[in-house]
Amino acid sequence: MAITILAPAPAVQPYRAAEASDSDSDDGGADVHGDINMRPSKRARHDYADIVTPGEVVTDEDQWMRATVAGTVQKTNKLLSVRPLRARYTPEIGDLVVGRIIEVQSKKWRVDVGAPVLASLPLSAINLPGGILRKRTETDELQIRTSFSEGDLLIAEVQSLFQDGSASLHTRSLKYGKLRNGVFMSISGTGGGGGVVRARRQLWTIDTMNGGGKVDVILGVNGYIWINKHIEVAGGDTVITRMEESVSATVYSSQNDRLPNRARDSANRTKRYMIDF
Amino acid sequence: MPLDTSTYSLALLRLDGRRWNELRRLTAQISTQASADGSSFLSMGNTKVICTVTGPSEVKAAPGASGRGDEAVVSVEISVAGFSGVERKRRGKGDKRIYEMQTTIATAFQATLFTHLYPRSTITISLHILSLDGSLLATCLNASTLALIDAGVPMRDYICATTAGSTSSYSSNDEKADPLLDLNGSEELELPFLTVATCGTEDEVSVLVMETRVQVGRLEGMLAVGVDGCKQVRDILDVVVRARGKRILEGSQL
C-alpha cells in the first residue's frame, strides 16, 4: 500500500472567525438572505467561504440546521444540501455501474459496487443464454455459477433501491453483462460518488496509436472503470432476437481471448493516462 | 526527576518551554493514502499517528459478533509500531490498554457518527502509531475525526481531544497551581492527568478517561483546561479540513 506523506507542513494557525469576512461568520458560509435572494445554484460556486465543516450551522432561518459532512452547500429552491467533498458511492436508479461478484446465493448474486452495502443481482434480472424468451428453470438455479461466479466483473444498471439504500441491479440489455479482455481500475474523488458523474454517455471508444486498435472505456458511476479492447458487434443489421441468440453463446464466457500485445499495451496505456488525468 | 517542579514554580515554564495552557505543535494532513476511503496523518508534538478509514462497507460479520442490523458498527484497530517508543518494544495483540483505547474510540464515534444511515455495514478505523510521546488517546481521537471527515461519513460534530494534568501536590500545599494542558510523555509519567474529548463547540464532553489518582478538588480545574484545549484543537482541525476542501474545489487532488 502506497503511503504518501508530504513534507512537514508548518503548524496550523487557528481559524479566526473575526478575520473572515462578516458574510462568512453571520450565516455560516451559506448565503441565506430570505426568499427573495434565493437563486438555484446549478454549479458549485468555488469559493473558500462555501466550504462547510461538520457542526457548522448552515442556516438558522426559520429552522436551524447544521452540516454533518465537509463539503459545499447546494441550494435547490428551499432545499439545502451539503455535497461532501469525498464520499462513498450512493446508488441511484438508472446508474450504470461496474461491479464485482462477491457472493453467490441460491437465486441471486451479491455485487460489490463500492457502495456501503453490497448490491444484489437476482437471477431473474439477467439475460440467460438462449434468447430473451427462455423460461428460468431449476437447472438455471443449480448452474448459477455458469453465468457469474465469485470475482467476475460485470457491467449493470441499477434497477431499484431497497429500503436500506442498497441497489438491485439488472443486466437485461446487450450492452450489459460480464466483462473480459481488459483492465479494471477504480477512482475515488469528489462529489457524492466516485468522481464519475452520471452522463448521457458512459461508454467511450478511443482510437489508440501504434496499431493498438480501438479501446473501449466504460465509466461506471460508482468510480469503477473498465478498459477493454473494442469488439465490433457482428451482424448489427439482423433482428434483435436473432442477434441476442448469436451473441449469447459467448456472453458468459470467463475465458479471455488471446489479445495481440499491442492491444494489451494500448489498454494499459489508457489506464495510465486515466490515472494521470 | 525529569520534570523539575521547583524550576516550574519559579519560571512557570515546562520542560519543553511551554506555558501551562499551551498546546504542542499540532500538524495534520488529510487524504494521505489514496486507496483508502478516508485517511489522515496527525501529530501532536512527537506523538504521530496515521489513520485510515474503510467503509461504511458490508463485511462478513465475525461469528459470534452481535451485529446490529439497523445501524453501522464502528470498529477500531490500533497497532503500535515497534519503533514508536524510546526503547524498542514488541506489543502483542492482547495488550489490555490498547484494547481499552479501541473500545473508547469506537464508543465515542458510534455515538457521534450518523450510523443509522448505513444499516448492515461496518466502519473500520485503523490507527497506526508511529511515534509515542504522551497524549496517545487524544491524538488517536483527533486523527480518527479527520479521517472520518475525509471519508465523508456524516457526523454530528468534530470530536477533539486533549489531555490535562495537575502539578499541585498535597505536600507542597499549592492549591492554586495551574493545571497543565497537553502533556508530553515525561510529564505523563509523573503527573496525574486525564484525557478529555469534546464534541462540538458547546463543551459537550464525549470522552473522559483518567487512569491516575488525583484529589477531587483538582479535577474541575483540569477538566476546564482540557475542554478549553479541545476548543483550540477544533479550530486547528477545522483549518486543515477547510484548506483541503479549498484545494479540492480548485481542482487539484493533493
| Cβ <8 Å between A68 and B232 | no
- pLDDT of A10 > 80? The answer is no
Domain ranges of chain B: 18-62+69-252
pLDDT of amino acid A49:
56
**Which of A33-37, A218-222, B2-6, B250-254 has the largest mean confidence?**
A218-222
Reported as a single tens digit per residue, the pLDDT across A85-113 is 888 888 888 888 889 998 898 888 999 88
CB nearest to A3's CB, from B32, B118, B249: B32
Cross-chain residue pair B239–A15, CB shorter than 8 Å? yes
Partner A, chain B 55-74, Cβ-Cβ below 8 Å = 55-58, 72
In chain B, which among 164-223 make CB contacts under 8 A with chain A? 200-201
pLDDT tier at A138, thresholds 50, 70, 90? confident
* Span A168-177, average pLDDT: 84
Distance CA A10, CA A75 (A): 36
Q: Is the pLDDT of residue B176 over 90?
A: no
Per residue, the 3-state secondary structure of B86-143, as one string, reads CCCCCCCCCCHHHHHHHHHHHHHHHHHECHHHCCCCEEEEEEEEEECCCCHHHHHHHH
> Which among B87, B88, B62 is positioned nearest to B77, based on CA atoms?
B62
CATH number of B18-62+69-252: 3.30.230.70
Residue showing cell 462497507: B57
Largest Cα span, chain A: 72
pLDDT at A164: 79
Q: What is the pLDDT of residue B55?
A: 77
φ, ψ of residue B219 in degrees (nearest 5)? -60, -40
Cis omega (within 30 of 0) on the bond before B56?
yes
Confidence of residue B190 (pLDDT cuts 50, 70, 90): confident
In sign, the C-alpha dihedral spanning A193, A197, A198, A203 is negative
**Dihedral angle, C-alpha B94, B208, B5, B188, nearest 10 °:** 20
Residues of A with CB under 8 A from a CB of B: 1-6, 8-15, 44, 46-48, 50-51, 53-55, 66, 68-72, 84-88, 116-118, 164-166, 188-190
Entry pTM:
0.81
Q: What confidence category does residue A254 fall into, taking pLDDT thresholds of 50, 70 and 90?
A: low
The reported pLDDT for the residue numbered A192 is 44
Greatest CA span in chain B, whole angstroms?
61
pLDDT band at B5 (very low <50, low <70, confident <90, very high): low
**Please, which pLDDT band fits residue A233 given cuts at 50, 70 and 90?**
low
Mutation pick from B24, B44, B57, B233 vs chain A, by most beta carbons of A within 10 Å, is B57
| Amino acid residing at B249 | L
| Partner A contacted by B33 (CB < 8 A) | yes
- The predicted-structure confidence for A208-222, as pLDDT tens digits, reads as follows 666 667 778 888 888
- B111-115 CB contacts, 8 Å cutoff, 24+ apart: B111/B206, B112/B155, B112/B156, B112/B157, B112/B159, B112/B199, B112/B206, B113/B72, B113/B74, B113/B148, B113/B153, B113/B154, B113/B155, B113/B156, B114/A68, B114/B153, B114/B154, B114/B155, B114/B156, B115/B71, B115/B72, B115/B73, B115/B74
pLDDT at position A32 is 42
Are residues A14 and B232 in contact, defined by beta-carbon separation less than 8 angstroms?
yes
- Complex ipTM tops 0.90: no
Interface A-B: count of C-beta contacts within 8 A: 134
Per CB-CB distance under 8 Å, the chain A contacts of B32 are: 3-6
Inter-chain residue contact B154 with A68, CB threshold 8 Å: yes
| B248 vs A: CB within 8 A | yes
CA nearest to A202, candidates A125, A121, A97, A276: A97
A161 forms bridges with which residues in the sheet?
A167
Q: Which of B25, B120, B236 sits opposite A14 (nearest CB)?
A: B236
For the stretch B196-231, pLDDT in tens is 999 988 889 999 999 988 888 889 989 999 999 999
> Cβ–Cβ of A14/B235 closer than 8 Å?
yes
pLDDT at A131: 60
Which residues of chain A have a CB within 8 Å of the CB of B244?
A: 70, 85
Q: Over the stretch B147-174, which tens digit does the pLDDT of each residue have? A: 999 998 999 999 999 999 988 765 556 6
CA dihedral for A258, A261, A262, A263, sign (positive or negative):
positive
B45 neighbourhood in chain A, CB within 8 Å: none
Q: Read off the pLDDT band of A44 (50, 70, 90).
A: very low
Tell me whether residue B46 is exposed, middle or buried, using C-beta atoms within 10 angstroms of its C-beta: 0 to 12, 13 to 18, 19 or more.
middle
Give residue A180's pLDDT.
80
Spatial separation of the C-alpha atoms in residues B248 and B226, rounded to whole Å: 33
3-state secondary structure chain B: CCCCHHHHHHHCCCCCCCCCCCCCCEEEEECCCCCCCEEEEEEECCEEEEEEEEEEECCCCCCCCCCCCCCCEEEEEEEECCCCCCCCCCCCCCCHHHHHHHHHHHHHHHHHECHHHCCCCEEEEEEEEEECCCCHHHHHHHHHHHHHHHHCCCECCCEEEEEEEECCCCCCCCCCCCEEECCCHHHHHHCCEEEEEEECCCCCEEEEEECCCCCHHHHHHHHHHHHHHHHHHHHHHHHHHHHHHHHHHHCCCC
Nearest to B120 among A84, A86, A117 (CB): A117
Q: Is the dihedral of CA B153, B157, B158, B159 positive or negative?
A: negative
pLDDT tens digits, residue range B81-126?
A: 988 888 887 776 678 889 999 999 999 999 999 998 888 889 999 9
* A2/B254 CB distance under 8 A: no
Q: Are residues B26 and A11, on separate chains, in Cβ contact within 8 Å?
A: yes
pLDDT for the residue numbered A158: 92
The Cβ of residue B203 has, within 10 Å, a number of other Cβ atoms equal to: 14
**What are the tens digits of pLDDT across the range B49-71?**
999 998 788 876 554 455 567 88
